[in-house]
Amino acid sequence: MKYKRILLKLSGEALMGDRQYGIDPKRLAEYADEIKEIHDKGVEIAIVIGGGNIFRGVAGASNGMDRVQGDYMGMLATVINGMALQGALEDKGMLTRLQTALKIEAIAEPYIKRRAVRHLEKGRIVIFGAGTGNPYFTTDTAAVLRGIEVHADVILKGTRVDGVYDADPEKNPNAVKFESITFDDVLKKGLNVMDTTAFTLSQENELPIVVFDMNKKGNLLKICEGENIGTVVKI
């Protein structure tokens, strides 16, 4: 396998499937199957999942809610998604641990870097919930931060788009996809891969990012086997 340890970043919206909000059990089971494929090949897997299918702090703030309060509500949404994913993975026979940046000890371990690394070494899948534990930071930033901390080889950002384009492919049918691109070129072209904080953190620590379509069956395994799926952002 090309990567021994990965940090998989999933959006909360991805869990909605065809629904307007919430969690689609069918989509959850599909993701669990995809993750099991690489787990069975010996890949060590850490996961960060967003909470946009339940609540977004930014959206709350735009409607008059206090931004800090909204962001903490968003963190709790990521914990709900983490618990749902944990259940789906364990239904497929995988061992998991949910660690959260906020202490919710009845349902999850507090985030401890050394413990997380030890779980990964033992073949357990570690899901990181509650973002960084701080308002104003996105789950993209949490994904990069945790990826650096647990010494992941790569950030795999699973989206509904199959890579990075020079324009929005859902709006512009003539948009051109990049097979690979450097961090500097992403910044020069003003492309949207991750939010600026997350992207800069990844660049400074030389942690590559692969943006790919998580909804296409087999893509996750192909990336871990070294196939050119999606777009690789590298130094």
- Tens digit of pLDDT for each residue in 114-155? 999 999 999 999 999 999 999 999 999 999 999 999 999 999
Question: Binding site residues, as ranges?
Answer: 9-12, 51-52, 56, 71, 132-139, 159, 165, 168
Rounded CA gap, 95 and 121, in Å? 12
Residue 35 has pLDDT above 90, yes or no: yes
- Tens digit of pLDDT for each residue in 200-224? 999 999 999 999 999 999 999 999 9
- Average pLDDT, whole number, for the chain? 95
Rounded CA gap, 180 and 2, in Å? 16
- Tens digit of pLDDT for each residue in 71-122? 999 999 999 999 999 999 999 999 999 999 999 999 999 999 999 999 999 9
Question: Binding site residues for ATP, as ranges?
Answer: 9-12, 52, 56, 159, 165, 168
Cα Rg of the chain, angstroms: 17
Q: What's the pLDDT band for 18 if we cut at 50, 70, 90?
A: confident
Q: What's the pLDDT band for 57 if we cut at 50, 70, 90?
A: confident
Residue 168 has pLDDT above 90, yes or no: no
Percent of the chain residues past pLDDT 70, beyond the cut: 100
For residue 51, what are its two tokens?
């909470």
Closest CA relative to residue 86, chosen from 67, 108, 61: 108
Phi, psi (rounded to 5 degrees) for 205? -100, 10
Q: Largest Cα–Cα distance in the chain?
A: 50
pLDDT attached to residue 160? 86
Q: CA torsion sign, 122 to 98 to 140 to 54?
A: positive
Rounded CA gap, 79 and 95, in Å? 18
186 with 178: CB under 8 angstroms?
no
Q: What's the pLDDT band for 170 if we cut at 50, 70, 90?
A: confident
For residue 216, what are its two tokens?
């296409």
Question: Binding site residues for UMP, as ranges?
Answer: 51, 71, 132-139
Q: What's the pLDDT band for 158 if we cut at 50, 70, 90?
A: very high
